Copies of this chain bind each other. A is one copy, B any other.
């Protein structure tokens, strides 16, 4: 081996992260050697704390260091509205919009029969339990617009509809600032399909 052992181990750890190959891992490891010791200690501590202190909210499945999470706890939010998303990152994207005042439900995945992932493997049963009290009036399905996301939305909407709760799907169409010329056919066809009167 050409590297001293401590740096090999650090490179191994870096290259386990997504999108980081051996070259980048080596660059990052050498960068760490040049960092201030305090910064490296902070980094190490941040890793451990994030892993140890964070868990999933027992109500909505969002990532949190308190249980229930700050969104489920927030009494000012509209409890009649639940937005269903795939991942905690999606909750954060929605929250950045600052436009949605309801609650969330994180599925932690999508139904994908090809990979053997059924509705019980994702957070669907817990969602149905939440709907049993009469507070909820509308469920907004905000899974990703791809095959698995669509299938999951379709499945959940069929489960919920008989209960009389309104089920909606977020709109698909041209992204703002997008260019009609470069839009793909499926997006365009969704945009036409979802057209609204002005």
Interface residues of A (CB under 8 A from B): 2-7, 9-10, 12-13, 16-19, 24, 26-33, 35, 37, 39-54, 63-66, 69-70, 87-89, 92, 95-96
* Contact pick for A54, options B33, B95, B96, CB 8 Å: B33
Main secondary structure of the interface of A (DSSP, over half): helix
Q: Which residues of B contact A51 (CB under 8 A)?
A: 32-33, 35, 37, 40
Q: State the copy count for this chain.
A: 2
Chain B positions within 8 Å of A39 at CB level = 13, 16
Bound together, the chains give a CA A35 to CA B92 distance in angstroms of 20
Q: How far is the CA of A46 from the CA of B8 in the complex (A)?
A: 9
How far does the alpha carbon of A82 sit from the alpha carbon of B7 in the complex, in Å? 24
**A9 in contact with B40 (CB, 8 Å):** no
Q: Give the residue name and chain of the B residue nearest to A64 (CB).
A: B4
Task: Establish whether residues B27 and A92, one from each chain, have CB atoms under 8 Å apart when the complex forms.
Answer: no
* Chain B residues with CB under 8 A of A29: 50
- A96 to B13: give the CA distance in the assembly, Å: 21
Show 25 residue pairs from A and B whose CB-CB distance is below 8 angstroms, ordered by the A residue. Answer: A2-B96, A4-B54, A4-B63, A4-B65, A5-B65, A6-B50, A6-B65, A7-B50, A9-B46, A12-B46, A13-B47, A17-B31, A17-B32, A18-B27, A26-B89, A30-B63, A30-B87, A30-B88, A32-B51, A33-B50, A33-B51, A37-B52, A43-B44, A44-B44, A47-B47
